[in-house]
Amino acid sequence: MPKVKKHKSVLAAKQSLTKPVIAINLKKKHKRQKPQQQQQQQQQQQQSTRPRELAAATAKAPKAKASHAAAWPQEQWRCASIIDQQSSEALLRLLAAAETRTAGATIKSLTLAPHIVHKKPTYAVTVETLKHLPLLKAVLAAVELLQQHQKLPAAAAYVLTYELLFGQGFRQKGPAEVAVLAQQGRLQGSLQSLLQQAGVPDAAAWLAAQQQQPQRQQQQQMVPHPRFARVNTLKASVEQVLTQLLSEATSVSQQQQQQQQAGQAAGPAGTAKQKRQHHGAAGGEGAAAGPVVDALLPDVLVFQPGTDLHDHPLVQQGVLILQSKASCMPAHALQPQPGWHVVDCCAAPGNKTTHVAALLAAAGNARACNGCGSGADGTGGAVDLQSDEDKCSRSSKKRTRQQSGDAEQAAAAAGPASSSSSSSSPRVFAFDKDPKRLKRLQANVARTAAGGIVLPRQADFLTLDPTAAEFAQVQGVILDPSCSGSGTVVSRMDHLLPQAEQAEQDGAGQPGGGSSAEVAEQQRVEQLAKFQEAAVLHALKFPALQRLVYSTCSVHQRENEDVVAAVLPAAAAAGLRLVDPFPAWHRRGLPVVQGAELLVRTDPYQDGTDGFFVAVFERE
C-alpha cells in the first residue's frame, strides 16, 4: 500500500506554535494508536454528527477582516487557523495572477510581508500546497467536494486538503474545516487510488511523473541558489558584519553539537526530536557554516541555501539587505566616483538606489581616509555595530551628511538652479511615478540611513528635462525599468504555479508552438521593450553623463540585446560606448548585437542567482 508522508518543511516551520497546538497534535497521535475497530466506530459517530458540527461552526465562524475583503469572495468560508487563512489568501491571489498572466504577486511578497503573522509556517504551507496542487485537484475532483459546498472557495479547499493529507491537520475548526473533515475517508481513499493507478509509492513520485519533460530536465539541471545579502556600508563595514555573523554561527554550531549529544544520550526519541529542532532552526541544514564574501561583489555575503534571515536583527536594523547577487551587480557596474550626482530613473523599492548611495559614501570615505587605518577591531568576537565603528568612517559619514544637508538647504532657499553648485556633495535623484511605491522607497531610504544622499521624488522619468540646471552635475545614471521579470522565475518559484505547466501544454502541437497566452506575453514584452528603449534614449540626454547602466531582471532578448542594438546609434552620437563592467564574469550577451561580448548576463538555472542583464555605456 502506498504511503502518504507528512512533509518535514511544514512540520519544522510549525515547531514554534503554541502549546494548545502541540496538545492537539498529541491528541491526534494518541487517537491513531487506538485499535482499528474503535477507530471505525468513532468515524461512524463523527459522520453522523457532521451536519450539526457544520451548522454550529458556521454560526460562530469568524468574520472576514476588512483588510482582506477585496481579495476574498464575500460570504465565502475562511480557514479558521490564521496560518491556513493567510496561506489560502496568498494562494487565491497567486492563482488569479497565474490565470490572468499579471505580475505583482509572488509567493514571498504575499507570505513574508510585514503584516503576516507566523511568516515561516505560512510560507511553508503555501509552498507545499502549490507543490501538491495537481494532486490536490485530482483528489478533490474525485470526491466533488467543491460542488457539494458552494461556500468553500477552491483556495481554502486546496490548503485544508493539503493540511489533512500531508500536513499537521487542523489546529482550529470552522465550517470549512468541518466540510473537509466530513470527506476525510473519501479523500484518503481517492489519494491511495491515484497512487496505485500511477504505480508510485508516494505523492512525490506521483508529482514527478506528472511533470513535463522539459520542465523536469530544467529543474534537475538547476544549481542550488544560495541566500545572498548585501552589507549596508552606510551603517557598518563588511568586516564588522562578517565577524558578528561568524561568531553567531560558531555559537549555533556549538549548541547543535550539545543538542546532538543530548539526543544521543536520550536514545532514538531524543535524536528524532533534535533533528526536528535543527531542521526548524533559522537557516535550515548547514546554516551554522556561516557566510562568506562573494568572489565578484565585495559587499555581498553568501549564505547556505535556505538560510532564513528575515527576522535577523541585522536585517531588521537595515545593516543587512536581502538582495540577490544579480540585483547587486548594476550598482557596482556604475562604479560611482566621489562627489558624483546620480539619477536612478525607476527607483522603487530602492535596493539599487541605496546601494548606489552606499558606494558613493564609500568612495568619498576612501578618499577622505587615504592613509589612515580602518576596519573591524580584529578580535574575532561579536561586534557592537553601534559603538565600534572606526572613527575615520564616522567622521567621513558625518561630513557627507553635513554636505548634503547644506546643499539641500541652499537648494530650498535659492531654487532648483542652486542645487548644481555643490559638486563635491554626492547625491542620488531617485524617481518613481507611483505614490505607493514612492512611500516604500522613502521607507527603505530611511531604514538604510541613506537620507543624506538620496532625494526621493514622485515623477515620471520620461517627463523630466535632463538639461535642467539641477541635473547639470549628473554623471551617472542607473536605469532598471519595468520588465517582464522572467529572470526571477526561480526565486519567485513561478515554476510551482499552474501557468508554467499550462504554457508547455498549450504550445504543444500548434504552429510555431505559440498559444494564446504566449502571444499575449509576447505582446506585453514588446510593449515593455518599447518603453525601455525610450527610457535609455532619454537617459542619454544628461549633458554631463559619464556612465549609464541599463539592467533588467529579464532573460528575453527583446528586452536586453535588442534594446541595446536600438539605442547604440544614439549612444555613439552622444559620445558613449559599451564597456565591460565585470571582466571576470563568465556569461555574456547573446551574439545578436555588436559588442555582445561586453554585455553581462546571469542565468537563473546555472548561476545560482536571478536571471539578469547588464549593459554599461561610458563616455569615450
The domain locations on the chain are: 8-210, 227-322, 327-368+389-505+516-619
State the pLDDT at residue 410. Answer: 37
State the pLDDT at residue 255. Answer: 72
> CA 419, CA 421: separation in Å to the nearest integer?
6
State the pLDDT at residue 108. Answer: 83
**Other CB atoms within 10 A of residue 431 CB:** 23
Give the pLDDT band of residue 364 (cuts 50, 70, 90): confident
> CA 47, CA 518: separation in Å to the nearest integer?
47
> CA 492, CA 573: separation in Å to the nearest integer?
39
State the pLDDT at residue 499. Answer: 55
SS3 of residue 164 by DSSP: helix
> Does pTM top 0.85 for this prediction?
no
Give the pLDDT band of residue 413 (cuts 50, 70, 90): very low
Chain centroid, CA 242 distance in Å: 23
Instruction: List the catalytic residues.
Output: 553
State in words which class domain 227-322 has. alpha beta
Min mean pLDDT across 171-180, 211-220, 277-286, 338-347 is at 277-286
Give the pLDDT band of residue 380 (cuts 50, 70, 90): very low
Q: Can you read off the three cell numbers belonging to residue 203?
A: 505523492
**Other CB atoms within 10 A of residue 32 CB:** 8
Closest CA to 340 of 215, 234, 476: 476
> CA 89, CA 69: separation in Å to the nearest integer?
10
> CA 357, CA 351: separation in Å to the nearest integer?
10
> CA 322, CA 301: separation in Å to the nearest integer?
10
Q: Is the model's pLDDT at 477 over the cut of 70? A: yes
State the pLDDT at residue 21. Answer: 35
State the pLDDT at residue 303. Answer: 96
Residues 6+ apart with CB under 8 A from 471: 341, 343, 420, 429, 464, 465, 542
> CA 144, CA 179: separation in Å to the nearest integer?
12
Extract long-range pairs of 594-602: CB within 8 Å, 24+ residues apart.
Answer: 594/565, 594/568, 595/564, 595/568, 596/561, 599/560, 599/561, 599/564, 600/329, 600/333, 601/555, 601/560, 602/325, 602/326, 602/329, 602/487
Q: Quick check: 162 and 136 in contact, CB under 8 A?
A: yes
Give the pLDDT band of residue 295 (cuts 50, 70, 90): very high
Q: Is the model's pLDDT at 577 over the cut of 70? A: yes
Cα three-residue angle 151-153-159, rounded to 5 degrees: 130
Question: Across all residues in the chain, what is the average pLDDT?
Answer: 78
SS3 of residue 309 by DSSP: coil
| Tens-place pLDDT, residues 105-136 | 678 888 888 889 899 899 999 999 998 999 99
**DSSP-assigned states of every residue in 61-116:** PPPPPGGGTTTSPTT----SSHHHHHHHHHHHHHHHHHHHT--S--HHHHHSSTT-
Q: Can you read off the three cell numbers belonging to residue 83?
A: 496560518
State the pLDDT at residue 210. Answer: 78
Q: Is the model's pLDDT at 40 over the cut of 80? A: no
Q: Which fold has domain 327-368+389-505+516-619?
A: Rossmann fold (3.40.50)
| Tens-place pLDDT, residues 70-105 | 457 778 999 999 999 999 999 998 888 776 655 556
Residue in the block written with cell 487517537:
31
- Highest averaged pLDDT of the listed ranges 98-112, 451-465, 483-497: 451-465
Min mean pLDDT across 248-262, 446-460, 500-514 is at 500-514
